[in-house]
């Protein structure tokens, strides 16, 4: 069947044509529930058995800017293959894929409606005691088993070619690493932070550091990474974590996935600064966010080290000094990428609900300025911070520094007035 975007009705018909997907005589409902920009998402349910599945179909363009931004449908193949690889490595942490249709760029997968999107949970200041462990585990295992540490070199190179993902990488190259650092047409930011944004555009040192990180994103084929691991790509319950949407997957730097999670915890931290009015409650929740960052890194570091020293198939990489230096580099990268991802969510095209749903413009500007400050510190000091005992301590200090600066400024103006 040639490609066409499915309607709810067509999705239903398609589902009934796949043997074993639903029981015979199923009475299906079909609902398009996508809120993304690049895909249709249908929820299909059998009223009789209650069984439900998700249809995800790639659109040949990015919705956000109309049909004018064409996007390769090949990303649906990439997403479906990445999901299946991740499922082989970690069956519990990604949705199960039931069926893939290349022509329609359609993946049929497990319904996770009993989970909620992590971003939503964090905005509501919920805590997820298992999440940090799960995601550290997820990143360590999915990257290790899809890297030169484990794959035979010829297999790695073949996979590298199969997962070339130019359209989706270009989105990241532009929106994360390029546009926020000049007056790009696609940028979008709160007019109240214009001064801070313009400071970014003329900060040559910062731009030099961002260029280093962009260059790494362009050239470092360390592992098959998720490529878009923000808190909107993660489903959770208090006991379960499911990572979805790996359509940006490609062979890239391992620190990029870790940095994406860190960035979204930092953004939530900044948003909670004005969202939670009770100081004590706020402190407790922000402490939870920082501890999560700490634990994610700890779990990743321990597990990747253990995997490298025990299961690396290339004996020359199974060297303690090398593994230690490599993990240190990943840490530094993760902090830098986190900074870039924080800044793009404040200045660039695509924002996060954590900040955007703060109704009061001034309050939102406060949280945005705080994000921009910490984002820059992450980029500029990543090498130094990566050497400190605790990965979250310098982030906490950076938040405090900014708060103190605000306080100083207020006092100064106060004494003048």
> Which residues does the annotation place in the binding site for ATP?
39, 56, 110-112, 245-247
Nearer to a copy of itself, 5 or 306 (CB): 306
Q: Residue 167 interacts with a copy of itself (CB under 8 A)? A: yes
Q: Which stretch binds a copy of itself (CB under 8 A): 1-9, 95-103, 172-180, 257-265?
A: 172-180
Q: Which long-range contacts (CB under 8 A, 24 or more apart) does 183-188 make?
A: 186/348, 186/349, 187/347, 187/348, 187/349, 188/347, 188/348, 188/349, 188/351
Nearer to a copy of itself, 117 or 249 (CB): 249
| CA contacts within 13 A on the Cβ side of 391 | 28
16, 169, 276, 350: which one binds a copy of itself (CB under 8 A): 169
Binding residue ranges: 39, 56, 110-112, 228, 245-247, 344
Q: Residue 154 interacts with a copy of itself (CB under 8 A)? A: yes
Q: Residue 170 interacts with a copy of itself (CB under 8 A)? A: yes
Contacts of 123 (CB under 8 A, 6+ apart): 268, 271, 275, 353, 354, 357
DSSP-derived 3-state class of residue 270: helix
Q: Which stretch binds a copy of itself (CB under 8 A): 215-223, 281-289, 385-393, 396-404?
A: 215-223
Best CA proximity match to 263, nearest among 345, 333, 353:
345
- C-beta separation of 47 from 29 below 8 A: yes
Q: Residue 215 interacts with a copy of itself (CB under 8 A)? A: yes
Q: Residue 143 interacts with a copy of itself (CB under 8 A)? A: no
Binding residue ranges for substrate: 228, 344
156, 341, 369, 382: which one binds a copy of itself (CB under 8 A): 156
C-alpha span between 377 and 394 (Å, rounded): 9
* Of residues 313-352, those binding a copy of itself (CB under 8 A): 314-317, 319-322, 325-326
Best CA proximity match to 90, nearest among 53, 136, 59, 48:
136
C-alpha span between 227 and 250 (Å, rounded): 7
Contacts of 387 (CB under 8 A, 6+ apart): 328
Would you tell me which residues interact with a copy of itself (CB under 8 A)? 148, 153-154, 156-158, 160-161, 164-167, 169-170, 173, 177-178, 181-182, 204-205, 207-212, 214-215, 218-222, 314-317, 319-322, 325-326
């Amino acid at each position: 069947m040639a490609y066409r975007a499915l309607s709810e009705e067509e999705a239903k018909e398609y589902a009934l044509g796949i043997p074993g997907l639903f029981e015979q005589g199923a009475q299906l409902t079909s609902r398009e529930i996508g809120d993304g920009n690049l895909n249709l998402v249908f929820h299909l349910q059998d009223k009789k058995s209650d069984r439900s599945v998700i249809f995800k179909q790639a659109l040949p363009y990015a919705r956000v800017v109309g049909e004018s931004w064409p996007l390769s449908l090949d990303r649906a193949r990439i997403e479906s293959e990445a999901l299946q690889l991740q499922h082989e490595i970690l069956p519990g942490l990604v949705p199960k894929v039931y069926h893939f249709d290349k022509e329609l760029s359609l993946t049929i997968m497990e319904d996770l409606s009993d989970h909620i999107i992590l971003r939503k949970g964090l905005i509501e200041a919920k805590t997820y005691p298992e999440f940090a462990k799960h995601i550290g585990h997820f990143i360590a295992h999915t990257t290790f088993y899809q890297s030169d540490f484990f794959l035979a070199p010829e297999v790695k190179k073949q996979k590298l070619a199969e997962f070339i993902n130019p359209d989706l990488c270009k989105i990241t190259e532009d929106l994360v690493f390029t546009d926020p650092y000049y007056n790009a047409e696609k940028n979008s930011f709160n007019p109240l932070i214009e001064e801070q944004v313009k400071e970014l555009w003329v900060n040559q040192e910062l731009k030099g550091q961002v260029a280093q990180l962009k260059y790494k994103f362009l050239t470092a084929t360390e592992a098959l990474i998720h490529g878009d691991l923000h808190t909107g790509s993660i489903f959770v319950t208090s006991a379960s974590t499911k990572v979805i949407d790996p359509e940006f997957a490609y062979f890239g730097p391992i620190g990029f996935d870790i940095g994406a999670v860190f960035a979204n915890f930092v953004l939530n931290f900044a948003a909670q600064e004005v969202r939670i009015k009770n100081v004590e409650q706020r402190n407790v929740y922000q402490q939870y966010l920082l501890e999560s960052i700490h634990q994610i890194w700890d779990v990743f570091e321990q597990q990747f080290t253990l995997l490298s020293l025990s299961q690396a198939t290339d004996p020359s990489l199974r060297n303690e000094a090398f593994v230690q230096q490599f993990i240190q580099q990943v840490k530094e990268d993760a902090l830098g990428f986190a900074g870039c991802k924080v800044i793009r969510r404040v200045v660039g095209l695509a924002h996060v609900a954590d900040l955007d749903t703060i109704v009061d413009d001034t309050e939102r500007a406060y949280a945005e300025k705080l994000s921009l400050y910490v984002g820059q510190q992450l980029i500029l000091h990543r090498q130094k911070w990566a050497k400190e005992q605790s990965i979250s301590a310098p982030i906490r200090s950076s938040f405090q520094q900014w708060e103190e600066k605000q306080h100083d400024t207020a006092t100064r103006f106060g004494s003048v007035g």
